[in-house]
Chain A
Amino acid sequence: MSVRKVDLHDVLFGGFLILVAAGALIATRKLSVGTAANMGPGYMPLAISLGLMAFGVFFTGRGLFRPFRGIEPVQLRPLLAIITSVAVFALLAERLGLVIAALATVIIAGFGGREHRFVESVIFAVILTGCAVLLFVRGLSLPIPVWPW
């Protein structure tokens, strides 16, 4: 069956649910289920995963027989910029301190915009980092290293 004939909204969402449900079933397969009167830790995960699985199968099946509905094309630029900037923050914040992590996050995120101006973005990152340090570390005493040393 070609992609042109299916409702991609339904099929993708259904597939996602099946994946999640299958993952949950595998992850909780060793937990004891128990009985309705005395439920074990595995009872609810099993019940909910089966429900999710049913929904997933339903959406996938329905989507295959519905008229075509595509999804808006994914634009890589904003997606990659935001994902990378957050990942960089996660990697740098505790190792190199807030200043470097914040500068990198703001500059990388800036690439996600269509009308990106590099110099403006760098200047803005410096200002923003200053504000963040003042607000979160000085003002709200967040325990995070500020500098790498």
Chain B
Amino acid sequence: MELLDHLILGFSTALQPGNLLFCLIGVLIGTAIGVLPGIGPIPTVALLLPFTFGLEPSSAMIMLAGIFYGAQYGGSTTAILVNVPGETSSVVTCIDGHEMAKRGRAGPALAIAAISSFFAGTVATVVIVLLSLPLSALALKFTAVEYFSLLVLGLIAAVVLAHGSIAKSLAMVLLGLLMGLVGIDVNSGASRMTFGVPSLSDGLDFVPVAMGLFGLGEIIANLERTTTRVVVKQSIRDLIPSWADLKAAFPAMVRGTAIGSILGVLPGGGAALPPFTAYAIEKKLARDPSRFGKGAIEGVAGPEAANNAGAQTSFIPLLTLGIPANALMALMIGALMMQGIQPGPQVMAEQPALVWGLIASMWTGNLMLLIINLPLVGIWVSMLKIPYRLLFPAIVLFCCIGTYGISNSIFNVWVMLVCAGVGYFFIKVGVEPAPLLLGLVLGPQLEENFRRAMLLSDGDVTVFLRHPISAVLLAIVAVLMLALLSPTLFRKRKQALSE
């Protein structure tokens, strides 16, 4: 059994004491930033990225991945107890989770959220195992033509599934692509848009861009709002849910896991889509939909399962094709490249210990999270007492030092500063910055593959339609675009995203 060998290799890597420790560090940091509103996994991973340089590749990836799915657990704690989403992915958990807490059922709500996440995490790990091999086998047949089409599909899907205006998201992708062109052109050696700055010749680093857009821009916008946080004050008991609660939540858990797993694989699925969809479906399927919004346990189980499943399956395109499904995966690609590993289908064959170790670590990490989140929930709740006026200067400082640390360059700090201003501007005019980051990371690959494909076909664009795999991928792009233009679907999407 080839699969079994891979799993044994994976667990033997993930269970090494060092890797277990980094997994624990990752999930602890993840839970902490998940609990704290106002700081998300993207700036955190960007911040820690430079310091993973000295680690083993597998330890680095295991830790960074732990931050991402750990944040999904932590976010729900804040959502339930404070009615403020710790993360975007836990927005819907606020609705019924906080309602349960107000009715004195904070314990069962927290327990169901953690158990749903754990269940989803376990299933999603299996899904990754099952899908990875066939997908990477398929990907090995890819040439520049197929890669280009796949990248286009990824970018378009990211646009379709992002929140907000599609036209604006498309424009943001283009903006990201343009920023990705900065630097010396590998084919001709000509410098493009470097404005004579030597630090730009290697291109714009995406870490300062990500920290500026997502970290600092967000802080400035947060400071403009007056927020009051009211933590539900009650002793949290009944952390072991009753049989009736479990029975009510289980079908929702299963459905949420399925929805999250599918939406997570899609490029651009983002953090908010899986839980929103899961919530909408639970409400539709419920015998008595009026219970939703008043503390329905399915309204916690479904979305919580969906966000954790989605967080994990979004690793599939990264591991098998080297393509990031969301902005955070774009950072993971950066982490791989810093370790000298070129992401792509060959990684599975060349670095089996890394890939399978990472996959296996997701299960061990989820197990740790279950323990960290349930018995120790009190510690996380006390973290919520740290006032934002102390938190944000600390984030600013760590962003500065972290950005400097990537390549010991002050220039990157200036890049971050500019991006902070731009990020604030984007928030003001209501544009979602995630597609830009995706464009920035995929831009160089997109250009490289496009130029290679055109060179091979002698400038004939129909080459993209003559290769069967590429034609199928572009057909999906066409269907997506057409679906967007259809008015009924357009309305449904708007409804789904605004619900």
Contacts and interface: CB of A to CB of B under 8 A. Distances in A.
Given A27-B193, A36-B459, A78-B219, 15 more contacts: A13-B171, A45-B192, A55-B170, A79-B220, A82-B420, A105-B393, A105-B397, A105-B400, A106-B394, A107-B393, A109-B397, A112-B219, A113-B389, A125-B393, A128-B393
29 contacts: A12-B428, A13-B171, A17-B171, A20-B175, A20-B178, A24-B193, A36-B459, A37-B458, A39-B451, A48-B178, A52-B171, A55-B174, A59-B171, A72-B428, A74-B428, A81-B223, A86-B396, A86-B417, A89-B397, A89-B400, A93-B404, A105-B396, A106-B394, A109-B397, A110-B389, A110-B393, A112-B219, A124-B393, A142-B404
Interface string A1-37: 0000000110011001100110010011001100111
Contact of B430 (A9, A35, A83): A9
Contacts of A89: 397, 400, 413
A144 B187 CA distance: 35
Most chain B CB atoms below 10 A, which of A51, A75, A82, A109: A82
Interface string B390-426: 1011101111110011001010011011001100110
A101 B455 CA distance: 51
Contacts of B399: 86
Interface of B: 51, 54, 167-168, 170-171, 174-175, 177-178, 181, 185, 187-188, 190, 192-193, 195, 216, 219-220, 223-224, 226, 387-390, 392-394, 396-401, 404-405, 408, 410, 413-414, 416-417, 420-421, 424-425, 428-431, 447, 450-451, 454-455, 457-461
Contacts of A21: 178
A82 B397 CA distance: 10
B181 A45 contact: yes
A63 B73 CA distance: 41
Contacts of B223: 75, 77-78, 81-82, 112-114
B110 to A, nearest CB: 30
Nearest to B426: A13
A12 B401 CA distance: 32
A129 B247 CA distance: 51
Contacts of A79: 220, 424
A147 interface: no
Nearest to A137: B401
A44 B425 CA distance: 26
Give the interface residue-count category, chain A: 35 or more
A36 B461 contact: yes
Contacts of B392: 109, 112-113
Interface of A: 8-9, 12-13, 16-17, 20-21, 24, 27-28, 31-32, 35-45, 48-49, 51-52, 55-56, 58-59, 71-72, 74-75, 77-79, 81-83, 85-87, 89-90, 93-94, 98, 101-102, 105-107, 109-110, 112-117, 120-121, 124-125, 128, 132, 136, 140, 142-144
Judged by DSSP, the binding face of B is: helix
A93 B401 CA distance: 9
B193 A132 contact: no
B417 A93 contact: no
Contact of B394 (A107, A113, A120, A128): A128
Contacts of A98: 401
Nearest to A124: B390
A62 to B, nearest CB: 9
Given A24-B193, A116-B389, A44 B447 contact: yes
A86 B420 contact: yes
Contacts of A16: 425, 429
B224 A85 contact: no
A11 to B, nearest CB: 9
A58 B400 CA distance: 37
A106 B187 contact: no
Given A40-B188, A49-B178, A78-B224, A87 B417 contact: yes
A37 B190 contact: no
A115 B451 CA distance: 55
A29 to B, nearest CB: 11
A86 B400 contact: yes
A77 B15 CA distance: 49
